[in-house]
């Protein structure tokens, strides 16, 4: 093949390639603009997310806090141990003006003293103790002295000459809620 | 605003702990190993310590005793003469070996709570042993007589057996009988006896402490003769 023939063939091949490439170039500008717009939108989303946490509007702050509160309560409910049935607060109260220390002992504490308090100093000492339904024997200890007769008791027992009060929790008249 | 958000978040986290906080608080109970370790240091003979340990472990496993009250009891008994403490604990061990509940936790009267009450009242170990021996006799008599009259489902007493509703019924009935005879100064012929026992059983059943159906059935079947039979069994020579 002669050099001029080869040159002609190469020109024809290049012309063909350019013509085909020109097809791919059509709409290029539009595609570039669209891509830039998409990227711009993408960026704005993350900017908005960042702004949401760093500069929340009052409405979103309140909504977020309420959502966190609900999630917190839900988690608390899920992770809490199952509630014991029907535990209700029971008020143990005794008038002991001038006493230095008052406690209640009973089946519910394995007869260990539970201190009563008299925050306003009026001589009325009290403690609220949550208990499940049942029959409980108890007594007060006022300045170290056994006081076994509680006027709020359902009944009394005498044990070796000392009174012990009895309450039926869950239906007795002394089942007082604090 | 960020502070406001953070505050509410903290409140919500605090709220998550609320369900736990409103439940009755209780320190974590001692482990069986801790109880047995304390028992091992009380200076009893190895044979008695081993027998009591076995009985207590069965009790913890089946629900006839709790580690909390047992630990408190042992701590108290460590303060009185060892022979008196051993006598008290031997009664409790025997009761456990017969499959009786000796401790209901902190929810009712029972052998262990009775001992702690009497110690709180300043009674001697000898007096406590006497009362506890009678409580054991009431438990045995109540079960035998009720079984004899077909008022309880037949069973073989065992410390290893799972607790049944009848076990709690026997405890509550025996305790009611004991309270009337020991502390109310009543006699088996007292016309108030049957009413006292029935009333208490029904009340406990209503509260859900005893199985309602079984308690009502036994309560209706009780008679002055059955009660007198139980008391005779207790005080037989």
pLDDT tens sequence across B98-146: 999 999 887 777 999 999 999 999 999 999 999 999 999 999 999 999 9
- The rounded distance, in Å, linking the Cα atoms of A150 and A132 is 20
Report helix angle B32-40 to B67-77, nearest 10: 20
- What pLDDT is recorded for position B185? 79
Of A170-174, B26-30, B185-189, B217-221, the least confident: A170-174
A134: chain B residues, CB-CB within 8 Å: 107-108, 204, 207, 209
The ipTM assigned to this model is: 0.83
Would you place residue A70 in the very low, low, confident or very high pLDDT band (cuts 50, 70, 90)? confident
The distance from CA B10 to its chain's CA centroid, rounded to whole angstroms, is 44
Residues B141-170 have a mean pLDDT of: 93
Q: Can you give the pTM of this predicted structure?
A: 0.72
Per-residue exposure over A67-85, b if at least 16 CB sit within 10 Å of its own CB, e if not: ebbeebeebbeeebeeeee
Would you place residue A29 in the very low, low, confident or very high pLDDT band (cuts 50, 70, 90)? confident
- What pLDDT is recorded for position B2? 57
- Determine how many CB atoms are found less than 10 A away from the CB of residue B24: 14
Would you place residue B17 in the very low, low, confident or very high pLDDT band (cuts 50, 70, 90)? very low
- Rounded alpha-carbon distances, angstroms, from residue A53 to A69, A103, B5, B43, B231: 17, 53, 10, 66, 77
The answer to whether residue A140 neighbours chain B at the CB level (below 8 Å) is no
Has residue A36 got a pLDDT over 70? no
The distance from CA B161 to its chain's CA centroid, rounded to whole angstroms, is 16
Higher pLDDT, B114 or B25: B114
**Closest partner CB to A72 (pick from B5, B15, B113):** B15
Predicted confidence (pLDDT) per residue in A88-143, tens digit: 788 999 999 999 999 999 999 999 999 999 999 999 999 999 999 999 999 999 99
With pLDDT > 70 as the criterion, what percentage of chain B qualifies? 88
**Among residues 17-76 of chain A, which lie with CB inside 8 Å of chain B?**
54-56, 58, 61, 64-66, 68-73, 75-76
Parallel, antiparallel or unpaired: strands A134-142 and A88-95? unpaired
**Among residues 109-138 of chain A, which lie with CB inside 8 Å of chain B?**
109-112, 130-137
- What pLDDT is recorded for position A4? 74
Please name the helix (run of DSSP H) or strand (run of DSSP E) that holds residue A90, with its range, or none: strand A88-95
What are the two backbone dihedrals, phi and then psi, of residue B207, each rounded to the nearest 5 degrees?
-80, -10
**Closest partner CB to A87 (pick from B20, B24, B112):** B24
DSSP secondary structure letter of residue B25: P
Please name the helix (run of DSSP H) or strand (run of DSSP E) that holds residue A142, with its range, or none: strand A134-142
Residues B174-198 have a mean pLDDT of: 91
Predicted confidence (pLDDT) per residue in B35-66, tens digit: 999 999 999 999 999 999 999 999 999 999 99
């Amino acid at each position: 093949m002669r050099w001029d023939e080869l040159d002609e063939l190469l020109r024809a091949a290049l012309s063909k390639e350019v013509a085909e490439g020109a097809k791919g170039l059509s709409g290029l500008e539009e595609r570039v603009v669209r891509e830039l717009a998409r990227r711009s939108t993408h960026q704005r989303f993350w900017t908005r997310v960042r702004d949401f946490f760093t500069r929340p509007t009052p409405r979103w702050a309140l909504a977020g806090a309420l959502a966190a509160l609900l999630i917190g309560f839900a988690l608390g409910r899920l992770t809490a141990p199952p509630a014991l049935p029907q535990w209700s607060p029971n008020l143990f109260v005794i008038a002991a003006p001038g006493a230095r220390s008052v406690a209640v002992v009973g089946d519910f504490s394995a007869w260990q003293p539970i201190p009563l308090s008299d925050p306003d100093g009026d001589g009325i000492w009290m403690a609220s103790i949550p208990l499940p339904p049942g029959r409980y024997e108890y007594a007060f200890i006022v300045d170290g002295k056994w006081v076994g007769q509680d006027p709020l008791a359902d009944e009394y027992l005498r044990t070796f000459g000392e009174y012990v009060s009895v309450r039926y929790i869950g239906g007795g008249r002394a089942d007082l809620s604090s | 605003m960020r502070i406001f958000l953070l505050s509410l978040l903290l409140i919500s986290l605090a709220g998550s702990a609320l369900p736990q906080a409103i439940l009755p608080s209780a320190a974590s109970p001692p482990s069986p190993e801790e109880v047995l370790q304390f028992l091992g240091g009380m200076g009893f003979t190895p044979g008695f310590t081993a027998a009591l340990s076995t009985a207590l472990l069965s009790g913890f496993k089946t629900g006839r005793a709790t580690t909390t009250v047992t630990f408190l009891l042992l701590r108290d008994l460590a303060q009185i003469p060892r022979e008196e403490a051993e006598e008290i604990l031997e009664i409790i061990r025997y009761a456990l070996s017969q499959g009786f509940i000796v401790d209901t936790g902190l929810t009712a009267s029972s052998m262990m709570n009775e001992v702690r009450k009497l110690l709180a009242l300043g009674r001697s170990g000898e007096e406590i042993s006497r009362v506890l021996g009678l409580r054991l006799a009431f438990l045995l008599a109540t079960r035998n007589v009720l079984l004899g009259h077909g008022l309880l489902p037949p069973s073989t007493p065992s410390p290893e057996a799972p607790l049944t509703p009848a076990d709690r019924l026997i405890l509550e009935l025996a305790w009611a009988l004991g309270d009337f005879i020991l502390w109310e100064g009543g006699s088996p012929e007292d016309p108030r006896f049957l009413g006292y026992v029935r009333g208490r059983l029904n009340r406990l059943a209503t509260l859900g402490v005893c199985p309602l159906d079984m308690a009502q059935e036994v309560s209706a079947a009780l008679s002055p003769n059955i009660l007198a039979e139980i008391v005779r069994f207790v005080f037989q020579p």
